[in-house]
Amino acid sequence: MNESSRDFLIALWLISGKGAIGNRGYERVYAGAIGNRGYVKPMSQTPVHAKIRRLYVPDANYFITFVFQNRASILADPQNMALFRATLRTAKEYHPFTMRAYVFLADHLHLLIFIPTTTNISKLMQSVQRNFTRNYKAAHGIPQPIRLWQRGFWDHVIRNEQDFANHFHYIHFNPVKHGYVTRPTDYPYSSFHEYYQRGWYTADWGATQPDEIAHLSFE
């Protein structure tokens, strides 16, 4: 990434994030157990309910992680990938947000989004998960209840410019990290291509893991 691209990335964070939030950044994992890969487990008749407390920061950038139940490779099917993207676009109409970066992998996905004051992040995420499950069942003719997602989602409020840049790059390197491709430019379901076309990245960026994101892991 060249100097002008780094400056623009900082400007993007400043415009969307309304400045740093200091030590109020918040991150917590809310996920069910991970079992065998490759299948969707039927929903239990006695689901476990837990109270989840989240810190809501108005007009902030959030890094979000969703994981499918049992790490099932739901989005490996192009039909399911298209269905999820359509579901996300519809959710955006009811719960507005600005997409900054994304990557959709077979068994999980990461988003970097700006959430305005008018949007409740929990309602947005619940809308995405609930409606994709409904759409998935309809598309595949599944009448019975299923648990398609691990419970909840993982969220992190972006603290400052460097935090924004680290998560931005982490998202775009993720397909290489998980062995899908050897370069981010070869993976189609990522916002990398938009920023590559803008000249923010070179074609060989991400062939090796950038040092600034080596300490990050949100899987």
Catalytic residue at 196? no
Q: What angle do CA 107, 156, 46 make, to 5 degrees?
A: 55
Of these residues, 62, 102, 189, 201, which one is catalytic?
189
In a domain, 49, yes or no: no
Q: Number of folded domains in the chain?
A: 1
Chain centroid to CA 146: 22
In a domain, 151, yes or no: yes
CB of 103 within 8 A of CB of 171? yes
Give 10-residue mean pLDDT values along the chain (219 residues). Answer: 54 46 30 32 38 62 95 97 98 97 97 95 94 97 95 86 94 96 97 96 93 71
Question: What domain range includes position 165?
Answer: 3-33+56-207
In a domain, 80, yes or no: yes
Using DSSP's 3-state secondary structure scheme, residue 156 falls into strand
> What is the model's pTM?
0.76
In a domain, 213, yes or no: no
In a domain, 41, yes or no: no
In a domain, 160, yes or no: yes
Which residue, among 99, 79, 92, has the nearest Cα to 131 in the 3D structure?
Answer: 92
Specify the CATH number for the domain of residue 180. Answer: 3.30.70.1290
Q: Mutual orientation of helices 78-94 and 121-140 as an angle, nearest 10°?
A: 140
Structure token digits, residue 169: 């790059």
CB of 146 within 8 A of CB of 137? yes
